Amino acid sequence: MTSALPRVSGSEVVRALRRAGFDEVSTRGSHCKLRSKTEARTVIVPLHRELATGTLASILRQAGMDAEELRTLLS
């Protein structure tokens, strides 16, 4: 599963999550907190240059998304 994940930065993931219906709630240090408009989901995204594949997989699990949906939102 993790080999199918793209190599992206934290800010790219935040933009994709915004397109998916998440709102930025707060930023503290190098971490951005986003909350879903429709569901009770909260996701914390580290604003690093490149996210580790395990970190990205965890973010996608928290957001209820898969790698293919992320790829669509990134383009």
48: CATH: 3.30.920.30
Q: Does position 1 have pLDDT exceeding 80, yes or no?
A: no
Q: Can you give the residue range of the structural domain that contains 26?
A: 2-74
CA R_g for the chain = 11
Residues 5-64: tens digit of each pLDDT: 999 999 999 999 999 999 999 999 999 999 998 889 999 999 999 999 999 999 999 999
Task: Give pLDDT, residue 2.
Answer: 44
Q: At what angle do helices 10-19 and 67-74 cross, to 10 degrees?
A: 90
Domain count within the chain: 1
